[in-house]
């Protein structure tokens, strides 16, 4: 057995679960003993969901990078920590051992310090999927600076909002990023973003694509030059900052039903323990295996299951710069064969996209190294589940359907690979420490099986968010006020006759597009920025590949040269304001929107129309102007 807390049988899981509920403090204290601490905690847990106040291992002192790097650099220095595969199959990959990663993180931690970074500072990271991204993240953690990674697909405006909200003083970026056949000009996006960000004094720029970039004297510095300076200083090892368990490790912005994205705050000890524990147990990771999580580090999945979970377990994590369909739809399978990948963790949207190419791209690829498959980010339909099982796992690899959120830090509900049973399209059972409940609209807990409701969690777990950056009240309102005394996930869920959980999707105004969270209000605001747009309403509709597509109803009073052109302009506007991921898939021009007498848009009706369920619109009598609905149906474009 690789890890003392790895649950390798159904009985072990059941026993652990029971203990975690009956005596959570003793349960987590025992697990926490497996990590390196400068000082042990005073109290395991102190909580109150009304404020909310959640503290785990308060008074404990540690640094997450000593747990992710130092201990392995010492005990297994030559083990690959990161295997990196470039976007172009012809470009040589890189293998970085624990000893090397430890050294590189230390070096870059000095770069940050030389640029004025101090414990508690916020540092924005906007980078391609190269090892230096992981190095930058870990270097922040090394010195106790708070990283805020922004996905490379977000617009200048989105970055600017995030930098301003967190008041970052340093940005780490690259000249550009390769993604498939695209070359994304990261530095020029950053330049535009920084026009409105006076808090930023230094920008550190890695060379990746070799495009021409502007470099401002006194503000912009090349990564490579900064490293040379540290070498000239004699490459001293950077001692890890001693952090309190409850100090902030990072902020990650995510969309909600209302307003701008909020900065979800995770802390040093609880997050570390949760990502490690869930990684080891859900995937049943065995020492020496290669773990390939296909997410981008710009999302929480990358934070938790490319960087912190795998590295804190001393595992080998595979990082891929490109996309699954470049140069062709066989790329994942080639990578698996090349590096003898043991665990593949990807999203249903990627599976569905690859499925659409048929099985030819898999032919001749040796996938026999695979032991465990995982999915995350959105509900997986049964067809995709079976395709994954048959064609990739060859019916020989358990599939873990892992349900979790940016806010939860790591997986909360999932089968444990080969240990607890899998069920297509079900996340199945809660991990030890997780107490899920289903509640009805009035907040009553729904007991028993074969029931459905809104998914809440009634007891804290170490990896949960502590606050939303700079606005604790927003955290309380968003997650802890809908149902008193509980964390509300925003997801609908059913519990079947066996007590297994199946997540049915968001019940709030958040869309899950290709596994990415996008708030309808955010997209509407962006559409409304277009000069000719009066008002808009955005809903999701079922999309074969993306899970949900974005359907926008737009009231337009400008002059169309032609409608198709205006639609493109609107998409371009959304790309400018948020990023290409939020571009509507369908735009329908309408003359009015269905509203209640109090002015609230009836999304339920718009959703049905978008889905094509025209005969079953439900009660429209409460509408201010029911005729609007008829008109919308008439002008609806076929999907």
Beta carbons within 8 Å of 331's beta carbon, 6+ residues apart: 89, 322, 323, 324, 325
Is 427 an interacting residue with respect to ligand PRX (CB under 6 A)? yes
Q: Looking at 35, 339, 403, 553, which residue binds ligand PRX (CB under 6 A)?
A: 403
Regarding 107 and contact with ligand PRX (CB under 6 A), the answer is: no
> Does 402 contact ligand PRX by CB under 6 A?
yes
Q: Does 508 bind ligand PRX (CB under 6 A)?
A: no
Q: Does 401 bind ligand PRX (CB under 6 A)?
A: yes
Q: Which segments of 388-515 does DSSP mark as H helices, in order? A: 472-475
Minimum Å distance from CB 128 to ligand PRX?
Answer: 20
Task: Give the interface segment with ligand PRX, choosing from 390-398, 401-409, 416-424, 475-483 (CB under 6 A).
Answer: 401-409
Out of 517, 530, 543, 583, name the contact with ligand PRX by CB under 6 A. 517
Report the C-alpha gap between 459 and 446 in whole angstroms: 16
Q: Is 405 in the site for ligand PRX (CB under 6 A)?
A: yes
Q: Is 99 exposed, middle or buried (0-12, 13-18, 19+ CB in 10 A)?
A: middle
Among 146, 164, 126, 108, smallest CA distance to 298 is for 126
Cβ proximity to ligand PRX: between 335 and 427 the closer is 427
Q: CB of residue 243 vs ligand PRX: minimum separation in angstroms?
A: 25
What b/e string do you get for 296-323 counting C-beta neighbours within 10 Å, with b at 16 or more?
bbbbbbbbbbbbbbbbbbbbbbbbbbbb
Q: Which lies closer to ligand PRX via its Cβ, residue 185 or residue 492?
A: 492
CB of 152 within 8 A of CB of 106?
no
User: For the window 262-301, what string marks contact with ligand PRX as x by the rule CB under 6 A?
Assistant: --------------------------------------xx
Closer Cβ to ligand PRX, 329 or 376, answer by number:
376
What distance in Å separates the CA atoms of residue 385 and residue 292, rounded to the nearest whole number?
18
Structure-token pair, residue 86: 């470039």
Map the footprint of ligand PRX across residues 529-568, applying CB under 6 A: none
Strand partners, 172: 125, 204
535 Cβ partners below 8 Å, 6+ apart?
Answer: 528, 554, 555, 593
x-or-dash pattern for ligand PRX, window 235-264, by CB under 6 A? -------------------x----------
Give the residue nearest to ligand PRX (CB).
406
Greatest C-alpha distance within the chain: 76
Cβ atoms of 41 and 32 closer than 8 Å:
yes
Q: Does 522 sit near ligand PRX (CB under 6 A)?
A: no
Query: Where are any strands of DSSP class E within 329-486?
Result: 343-346, 372-376, 399-402, 436-439, 451-457, 467-468
CA-to-CA distance for 451 and 492, rounded, in angstroms? Answer: 11
**Closer of 93 and 505 to ligand PRX (Cβ):** 505
CA dist 141 to 54, 64, 249, Å?
21, 7, 7
x/- map, 367-396, ligand PRX, by CB under 6 A:
---------xxxx-----------------
Interface positions, 296-355, toward ligand PRX (CB under 6 A): 300-301
Residues 465-504 that bind ligand PRX (CB under 6 A): 489-491, 503
Residue located via tokens 């999580």: 293
Report in angstroms how near the CB of residue 351 gets to ligand PRX at its nearest. Answer: 12
Residues that bind ligand PRX (CB under 6 A): 254, 300-301, 376-379, 401-406, 427, 489-491, 503, 505-506, 512, 517
């Amino acid at each position: 057995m690789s890890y003392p807390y790895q649950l390798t049988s159904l009985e072990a899981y059941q026993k652990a679960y029971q203990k975690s509920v009956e005596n959570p403090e003793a349960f987590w204290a025992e697990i926490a003993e497996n990590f390196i601490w400068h000082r042990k905690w005073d109290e395991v847990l102190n909580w109150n969901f009304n404020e909310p106040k959640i503290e785990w291992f308060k008074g404990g002192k540690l640094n997450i990078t000593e747990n992710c790097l130092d201990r392995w650099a010492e005990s297994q220095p030559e083990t690959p920590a990161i295997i990196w595969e470039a976007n172009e199959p012809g470009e040589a990959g890189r293998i970085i051992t624990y000893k090397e990663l430890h050294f590189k993180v230390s070096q870059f931690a000095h770069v940050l310090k030389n640029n004025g970074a101090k414990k508690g500072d916020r540092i924005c990271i906007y980078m391609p999927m190269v090892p230096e991204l992981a190095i930058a993240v870990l270097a922040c953690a090394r010195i106790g600076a708070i990283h805020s990674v922004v996905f490379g697909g977000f617009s200048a405006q989105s970055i600017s909002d995030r930098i301003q909200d967190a008041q970052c003083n340093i940005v780490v970026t690259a000249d550009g990023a390769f993604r498939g056949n695209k070359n994304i000009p990261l530095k020029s996006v950053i330049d535009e973003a920084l026009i409105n960000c006076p808090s930023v004094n230094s920008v550190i720029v890695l060379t990746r694509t070799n495009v021409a970039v502007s470099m401002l004297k006194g503000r912009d510095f090349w990564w490579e030059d900064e490293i040379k300076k540290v070498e000239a200083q004699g490459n001293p090892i950077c001692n890890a900052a001693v952090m309190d368990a409850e100090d902030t490790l990072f902020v990650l912005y995510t969309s909600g039903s209302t307003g701008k994205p909020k900065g979800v705050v995770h802390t040093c000890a609880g997050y570390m323990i949760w990502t490690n524990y869930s990684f080891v147990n859900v995937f049943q990771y065995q020492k020496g295996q290669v773990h390939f999580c296909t997410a981008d580090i710009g999302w929480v999945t990358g934070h938790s299951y490319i960087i912190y979970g795998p590295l804190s377990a001393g595992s080998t994590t595979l990082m891929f710069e490109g996309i699954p369909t470049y140069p062709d739809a066989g790329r994942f399978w080639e990578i698996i064969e090349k590096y003898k990948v043991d665990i593949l963790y990807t999203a249903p949207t990627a599976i569905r996209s690859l499925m659409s190419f048929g099985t030819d791209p898999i032919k001749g690829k040796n996938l026999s190294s695979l032991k465990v498959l995982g999915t995350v980010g959105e509900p997986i339909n049964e067809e995709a589940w079976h395709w994954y099982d048959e064609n990739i796992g060859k019916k020989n690899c358990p599939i873990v359907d892992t349900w979790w959120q940016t806010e939860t830090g790591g997986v909360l509900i999932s089968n444990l690979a080969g240990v607890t049973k899998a069920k297509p399209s079900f996340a199945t059972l809660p991990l030890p420490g997780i107490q899920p409940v289903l509640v009805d609209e009035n907040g009553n807990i729904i007991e028993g099986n074969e029931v459905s409701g809104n998914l809440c969690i009634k007891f804290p777990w170490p990896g949960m968010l502590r606050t939303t950056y700079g606005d604790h009240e927003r955290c309380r309102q968003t997650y802890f006020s809908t149902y008193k005394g509980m964390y509300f996930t925003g997801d609908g869920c059913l519990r079947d006759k066996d007590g297994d959980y199946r997540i049915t999707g968001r019940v709030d105004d958040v869309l899950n597009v290709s596994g990415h969270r996008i708030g309808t209000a955010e997209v509407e605001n962006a559409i409304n920025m277009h000069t000719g747009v009066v008002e808009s309403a955005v809903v999701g509709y079922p999309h074969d590949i993306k899970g949900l597509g974005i359907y926008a109803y737009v009231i337009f009073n400008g002059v169309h040269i032609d409608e198709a052109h205006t639609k493109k302009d609107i998409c371009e506007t959304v790309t400018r304001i948020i990023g290409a991921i939020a571009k509507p898939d369908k735009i329908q021009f309408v003359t009015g929107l269905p509203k209640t007498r109090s002015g609230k848009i009836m999304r339920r009706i718009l959703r049905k129309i978008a889905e094509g369920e025209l005969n079953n619109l439900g009660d429209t009598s409460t509408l201010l102007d029911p005729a609007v609905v008829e008109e919308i149906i008439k002008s609806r474009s076929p999907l």
